[in-house]
Structure 1
Amino acid sequence: MANFLLIAASSDIGQATAKRLQGAGHRVVTTARDSSRIEPDFTLDATDFDAVDRVVGEAGELDGIAVFAGSMLLKPAHLTSREQYDELIAASLTTAFAAVRAAGSHMRDGGAVVLVSSAAALAGLPNHDGIAAAKAGVIGLTLSAAASYAAHGLRVNAVAPGLVQTRLTEKLTASDMSRKVSEAMHPLGRLGEPDDVARAVEFLLAPENAWMTGQVLGVDGGLGSLRPRQKV
């Protein structure tokens, strides 16, 4: 049995990951900003460095940490306000950095950190300017932190999902037309489910995969690296 901490576990992907890990017999400690969606073990503002450090210290001996915090904003840069930009960076990048920082302090005997980036950081998608900036930062953090902590056996990897059907993205698939457009962007012809990403997070957290670090695993139906064949 391994011990895992899931930060922002109230997200749909976080809940799916918790269910998979618990089903496999692991101990799972969860955090959330409030108890509106789940009853977390810790109420946590994941952008607060000191609070994250405290929770990681109080969670006990950990084998891994996964961070699911994030937000959604589809706008070009010139229509994005400073407040919206700051919120995007805080939700996706600051939370990831806070978790890596705490893991580096407390997990001195090694383990795994899994962050969540996005296919939008790998492929040029219109109106994803803020998200792409934040999630590309997560990729840079993943690579640098993996190098920084490799000597301690602390692995840092990331998943980069395409469009996943969650409460956060439900407005993007609310109509048949928008859904079909989104599906067509993914070479495999469908949108992701939370469990698609949860399986990848579980894989990267697993101690059996201890020879993987500094990797960004695309779980995106091909969105981040392929172009679908056009129908003629």
Structure 2
Amino acid sequence: MKNIVIIGCGQGIGFAAAKLLSGGNHVIGISRSHNSEVETLNIEFHELDILNGNLDEITFPEIVDGLVYAPGSINLKPFNRLSVDDFKNDFEINVLGAVKTIQKLLPNLKKSESASIVLFSSVAAKLGMPFHASISASKSAVEGLTKSLAAELSAQKIRVNAIAPSLTDTNLASQLLSTPEKREASGKRHPLQRVGNPEEIAKMTEFLLSPNSSWITGQIIGIDGGMGSVKL
């Protein structure tokens, strides 16, 4: 049984990952908010805002085998309507929260024989997409963090990878998918003609935490319906 910490387990991709990984693992889930289903999962749940809360209040296992940092943001505006605070907030949620968590748990991860860290980027960090300046900037920083840490932590046999989804059917994206017409239009922008679902991303998360991915580190893995690589 592995000890896996999931930040942002309250909904969306983090919740799907917690649900999938709770069978056969000890999952410590942390989220500032959560849906009612979280309470039905076989996980150790803590309600905590990762940016403002104190991780020292949680007693983590001495050995942590996997860390998933799943919080995110969708802040789509024309560049001239994005404030400096918008950029700061996205950077704090996507980057500094991950930094804070990794620094806290690094001693525990070093004690594992095969630790794995999974972060989340976005297809918007690879493609130039209008109205994505703030989110693209912060997710690009996540990709740089992923590769740098993969190099630095390889001597401790800690693997670090990032998943870069495109639009996924989560609460975070609910406004973009609020009508059948919006959902259809969003799907058609992808070569595979649909948006993603959290379970698909969770399965890649599970793979990256498992021994089956033991020779994979420093990678940005696109799960994006082909958007990041295929031109129609």
Same fold (TM over 0.5): yes
Whichever residue aligns with residue 154 of structure 2, its letter is: A
Mark the CA change 1:88 to 1:207 in structure 2 (over 3 Å): closer, same or farther: same
Which of 208, 225, 228 pairs up with 1:204?
208
Query: SS in structure 1 opposite 2:162?
Result: strand
Specify which of 91, 94, 97 is matched with residue 93 of structure 2.
Answer: 91
Q: CA deviation at 1:62?
A: 1.2
Measured in 2, the distance between the counterparts of 1:207 and 1:57 equals 26
Give 1:77's aligned residue. Answer: 79
What residue in structure 2 maps to residue 13 of structure 1?
13
The structural deviation recorded for 1:55 is 6.3
Q: What residue is the counterpart of 2:68 in the other structure?
A: 66
Question: What residue in structure 1 maps to residue 30 of structure 2?
Answer: 31
Cα deviations by residue, 1:153-183 (Å, 9 ceiling, x for unpaired) = 1111110001000111011011333222211
User: Secondary structure at the residue paired with 1:107?
Assistant: helix
Q: Which residue of 1 aligns with 2:152?
A: 148
User: 2:104 maps to what in 1?
Assistant: 102
Dislocated runs of 4+, deviation >3 Å: 34-40
Structure 2 gaps of 5+ residues are none
What is the CA distance between 1:105 and its match in structure 2? 3.3
1:45 deviates by 2.3
Q: Is the 8 A contact 1:103 1:113 kept in 2?
A: no
State how far apart, in whole Å, the 2-side matches of 1:103 and 1:185 are.
39
Give the paired residue count: 225
Matched to 2:200, the amino acid is D
Q: TM-score, normalised by structure 2?
A: 0.89
Q: Structure 1 residues 143 and 57, CA, compared in 2 at 3 Å: closer, same or farther?
A: farther
In the alignment, residue 112 of structure 1 is paired with which amino acid? S
Residues 34-43 or 214-223, more deviating: 34-43
With 143-152 and 82-91 compared, the bigger mean Cα shift is at 82-91
Structure 1: segments with no counterpart, 5+ residues: none
In structure 2, what is the Cα distance between the partners aligned to 1:55 and 1:107?
A: 18
Cα 1:145/1:57, change in 2 over 3 Å:
farther
Amino acid at match of 1:96: A
Q: Name the SS for the 2:6 alignment partner.
A: strand
Q: Contact between 1:11 and 1:69, CA under 8 Å: does it hold in 2?
A: no
Identity %: 35
Preserved CA contact (<8 Å) 2:69 2:118: yes
Counterpart position of 1:183: 187
SS at match of 1:158: strand
